[in-house]
Amino acid sequence: MVEFVAAALIASGFWMLLELGKLVINGLPRETAAMRVTAGPGREYVERYADAFRRLAESYQDMPRKKEHFGDEEMEHIISQIRERMCASCPQQELCWQKNYYESCRRIFAGLRAMENGDEAGALETLGFMEFCCMDEELLQAMKEIFLQERVTLMWNNRMLEQRAAAGEQLQDTAELLKQMAERLYQIRGLEERTFRRLEKELRYEKIDCAGAWLFCRDEEHPELYVSMGIREGSCIQTKDLSELISEVMGRRMVPARDCRLTVKKEPDTFHYITDTNYQMFCGIARMTRDGELVSGDNFAFWQGDCGQVIMSLADGMGTGVEACQESEKVIELLEQFLDAGFSQDTAMRMINSSMVLQDHMQIFSTIDLCMVDLYNGKCCMIKAGACPTYLSRGDGLEVIHCQALPAGLLQTPDYETVNRQLASGDRIIMMTDGVTDALEEDGREMRLRELILETKTNNAREYARSLLEQVLARQRYHVKDDMTVLVGQIWKK
């Protein structure tokens, strides 16, 4: 029940984000050059929603925490049940629970603690006070049954508390997203009057009417431009053909964003241009499915975001076959959706982990291997949760980046490691699943894999991934014991 309530609350938060986004877009003026976004009142409303979600998340955090062992209250409840079941009709009840009350409680309490520690023999020995109890064997059997029942109850209570904590974390993340949106409302502004007039004039020479233009500045060095325009005469014009014109007006190299429409038509529409990156990245993938399986439990993604980032992700679901594929596929899809929407990697990891914990009908685990490369400055951020080592090839050198974190969904609190590196032109990132590493002999496995990586000589990322996997398969005589995936990304200066 908790997960359904949390899902409804979180969905309402995302609905607010969507509606507020529509409000901002619809509120943007299209008829004037001096375009401004009056974000003051809007920002206050968003921050009010964020505070409400934050307070709700804090109420979840104030709830009781899960217990690993029975407390005094649970022990007293178990002893009360034992008395009701075994002693209510016993002729010696007065002897045990009046004259020897404290001794009976002490012995049963000690016996339960022994059972909790897995020492059944110790529990029987502790109950050796049968000088005044005539049902020692029946009492021990009743203790076992009631103890197991209460243990199951404790397990379900802990599961519920874990779900509450996960729901609280998602609500906290939703509040943080609302706060970020409130801050970004001030990052949208209109072009300066002179720049807009020049853009309008240049587009008019191309028989294009410009209704408005806005800047979205995540930072001052890499602004993004939104232009509302429609063609006046002719059929259509390619948006990439306008890149040079827009670049000249903006004083920096601008290119159509990944989500930008391909052509300008008669119907006015909004087109998205971003500052061109200094680097480009090429990706190669090679994979094999375990013998006897129709689908691979490994899933991957490689895409370039609109803010100059390339994202490589690799997930290995626990096991093989369809179930493992569904686990890793869900992780990859969520990663892509969160990161593509502009969420931070920390927020994405927390949301994914808590969503996996909230799945109460099954235990879902998956490794996560995430690499984010900023194509403006070459900085690389690697996030790993239970994943195999990542290899960073630099010329003739090779760095191995290990991970000690556990897979996502295993713990209520996300467990992952973050590593940052500065890349240079020609550097290569090699990610793989455990099916590749396990295919080599256990003795000297990492050293042998390092040799194979350094021996592979090609600057084509696709050929590199294929050649590396081919060499590993050859050492296993082409017998695939586990799903194998190699993902390679190589960065180059433009």
pLDDT the model gives residue 39: 46
Closest listed residue to residue 280, CA positions, set 487, 467, 423: 423
- Confidence at residue 163, expressed as pLDDT on a 0 to 100 scale: 66
What averages of pLDDT result for each successive group of 10 residues across the chain (494 residues)?
Answer: 47 48 42 40 65 67 62 73 74 70 74 70 58 65 77 73 68 73 70 90 91 83 89 86 93 89 89 92 93 89 85 86 84 84 77 69 75 94 91 90 80 80 95 91 86 90 94 88 93 92
Long-range contacts of 69-75 (CB under 8 A, 24+ apart): 69/116, 70/112, 70/116, 70/150, 70/154, 74/150, 74/154, 75/109, 75/112
* Of the candidates 70, 112, 69, the residue with the CA atom closest to the CA atom of residue 104: 112
Bridge pairing between strands 269-275 and 254-256:
antiparallel
353 has which bridge partners? Answer: none
The confidence score (pLDDT) of residue 2 equals: 44
Supply the pLDDT for residue 38. 42
Pairwise CA distance, residues 460 & 467, whole Å: 10
pLDDT at 275 (0 to 100): 92
> What is the rounded distance in angstroms from the CA atom of residue 473 to the CA atom of residue 110?
58
What pLDDT score was predicted for residue 61? 61
